[in-house]
Amino acid sequence: MNIKTQALSGGFQEPVFHSQGVFRMLMDGMARPGTVHTIAMDIGQPEPLGQAAGAIALTLCDHDTPTWLSAGLLKSPAAEWIGFHTGAPITREKAESRFAFVEAGVAPSSFGLFAAGTQEYPDRSTTLVIEIGALGQGQALTLKGPGIQQTTTVKLKGLPEVFPRLWADNRALFPRGVDVILTAGKSLLCLPRTTQIAVQ
């Protein structure tokens, strides 16, 4: 399959119902940080975009959401795929992005350049979708905060080592800050800015 056909193929087979289903997973995921949700439907997204990450783009992105892509995604057919299926303008400016997609193995050195919103409008912030190795195995972390009864443990494989420190910096900005969705293939897990993370 050449790059062009790859960009035009796939997507939700039933856009109305599939985007509703994925949204409910995201809503439940944000409301219960650390819970793992699985996207079952095949959407034919090109590498290195993961299935869950692609489904998130199809569900939430459109021409109102400038979208930033990490270098590997930007030079892959995934960039055109997101553009074609969602209409989202691809931006190189982190600060103006409403969504940012990061491929596996790339550690963001900082969240600082992404939009954190303002003190008056903290919702005007970037949501980062970061692909990692696996959810449910690997390093154990303790999560705490709204949506979590006392504490919960998550296991994450391939989380950039710098992540807990970046997250602590992000927490300190509250109510400003970015929100993160971690994805691994078909799985996703949400980390709203309110969640506190401790390495076990």
Partner 1 sequence: MTELATYNFAYLDEQTKRMIRRAILKAIAIPGYQVPFASREMPMPYGWGTGGVQVTASIIGPEDVLKVIDQGADDTTNAVSIRAFFQKVANVAVTTHTKDATIIQTRHRIPEQQLEKGQVLVYQVPIPEPLRFLEPRETETRKMHALEEYGLMHVKLYEDIARHGRISTTYAYPVKVAGRYVMDPSPTPKFDNPKMHMSEALQLFGAGREKRIYAVPPYTDVVSLDFEDYPFEIQKFEQPCALCGAQGVYLDEVVLDDKGGRMFVCSDTDHCEDRREHGHAGEMLAPAKEAAE
Q: Which residues are at the interface with partner 1 (CB under 8 A)? A: 15-17, 19-21, 23-24, 26-28, 30-32, 59-60, 62, 64-65, 98, 118-123, 125, 127, 146-149, 174-175, 179, 192-194
The whole-angstrom separation of Cα 26 and Cα 23 is: 5
Angle formed at CA 49 by CA 46 and CA 54, multiple of 5 degrees: 90
Cβ proximity to partner 1: between 23 and 74 the closer is 23
Cβ proximity to partner 1: between 94 and 176 the closer is 176
DSSP letter, residue 123 = T
Q: Rounded to the nearest whole angstrom, what is the least distance from the CB of residue 159 to partner 1 in the complex?
A: 20
Q: Rounded to the nearest whole angstrom, what is the least distance from the CB of residue 23 to partner 1 in the complex?
A: 5
Q: Rounded to the nearest whole angstrom, what is the least distance from the CB of residue 72 to partner 1 in the complex?
A: 25
CA distances (Å), 104 to each of 26, 32, 89, 147, 158, in order?
20, 24, 22, 27, 8
Cβ proximity to partner 1: between 137 and 151 the closer is 151
Q: Rounded to the nearest whole angstrom, what is the least distance from the CB of residue 33 to partner 1 in the complex?
A: 8
Cβ proximity to partner 1: between 24 and 157 the closer is 24
Query: How are beta strands 179-184 and 99-102 bridged, if at all?
Result: unpaired
Q: Rounded to the nearest whole angstrom, what is the least distance from the CB of residue 13 to partner 1 in the complex?
A: 15
Q: What are the backbone angles phi and psi of residue 187, rounded to the nearest 5°? A: -100, 155
- Strand locations in the chain, DSSP E? 37-38, 67-69, 90-91, 99-102, 127-131, 134-144, 151-157, 179-184, 187-191, 196-199
Cβ proximity to partner 1: between 21 and 44 the closer is 21
